[in-house]
Amino acid sequence: MKAAVLREVGQLLQIEQVQIDKPGPHEVLIRTAAVGVCHSDLHFIEGAYPIGKPVVLGHEAAGVVEAVGAEVRTVKPGDHVITCLSAFCGHCNYCVDGRLNLCVSDEVKRGQDEPARLSLGGQPLPNYFNLSAFAEQILTHEHAVVAIRKDMPLDRAALIGCAVITGYGAVVRTARVEPGQTVAVLGCGGIGLSAINAALIAGAGRIIAIDTAASKEALARAFGATDFVNAATSDPVAAVRDLARGGVDHAFECIGLPKTAEQAFEMLGRGGAATVVGMIPPKQMVSIRGSTLLQEKRLQGSNMGSNRFPLDMPRLVDFYLQGRLKLDELISRRIRLEQVNEAFAEMKTGEIARSVIVF
């Protein structure tokens, strides 16, 4: 099959022929229909996060099941599915406690004594987030996919698998925003816009979008923002505290920088919660003023929106088909696999929401 391969940090992805194995007992083979180009992949391309190479990246996908292993019970050939990088085993302490997104069991991977799911020139490849979705096919564990209704367009469904579930889940599951509360969202990329949309669905009274690109204002307001702060021309903390009369109930950092995480905490009102959604590089530190903790402010992380994706994703599909979840507006352009490097170059400009590779 054709796939986009990263061979070295900082290099362009190469379109190569990669070999894919047959499904094991609990595995699913998917014909990829669409995959979003996510900023998380860029972190690995640039070396901010380590990974074995060569490797096929990509994780925000949707497609059609082609074949399943003998013990698969959750999907069948012909099903339309969304993938999710937070694969779960179903019986560890985290899974039993309902925190599927925190499962780190190796049971969803192949063992070292088994053949690799993917190989290149006879050499095994890492299976990136159990998916490696920048490819014509995906081979993964059944607990990394969920079946959805077939009237859902797959190019839009793909976005639910990462950007949407991460932004929506951070608001609804991690922070549990209540009707009437005030919300600030730092960063109006795919995840930030999804968080804004989720805050609207949750009934937030005021939703303040923050970005350094003035061009994002119209898009942020279309997704539900009531206010927009241009962080390139004004102090975002002062602006938000003024708009929210002292501070917001919830702030969501959707960029992945220590500075913006600190700003999210500083713009809280008493008893507020700042939720860091962005991927801050491992060795970077976040500093807060300890005295403000006496105001019962909280700084917390969110992993993949604290999702329970077998429940959440079909619901989000329903929201889209009801007109409540905005996905069409999230797609800046549809591209071919061969244009993946162009998509990453455009991502760095900060001017687009999401590029989607369509097969």
Catalytic residue numbers read 38, 40, 43, 59, 162
| Residue 305 three-state SS | helix
- d(Cα 312, Cα 148) in Å, to the nearest integer? 11
Question: What is the secondary structure of 150-198 as a DSSP string?
Answer: TTS-HHHHHHIIIIIHHHHHIIIIIS---TT-EEEEE--SHHHHHHHHH
Q: Residue 194: what residue type?
A: S
Q: Which two tokens stand for residue 342?
A: 């162009």
- Contact of 19 with 118, CB cutoff 8 Å: yes
- d(Cα 124, Cα 306) in Å, to the nearest integer? 32
CA distances from 277 to 68, 215, 301 (A): 33, 22, 6
Backbone angles phi, psi at 271, to 5 degrees: 75, 10
Q: Which two tokens stand for residue 74?
A: 């959750």
Going by C-alpha positions, the residue among 21, 35, 111, 107 that lies closest to residue 66 is: 21
CA 204 to chain centroid, in Å, comes to 22
No. of H helices and E strands in the chain?
A: 10, 19
CA distances from 91 to 36, 102, 143, 146, 240 (A): 30, 12, 12, 18, 43
- d(Cα 231, Cα 239) in Å, to the nearest integer? 9
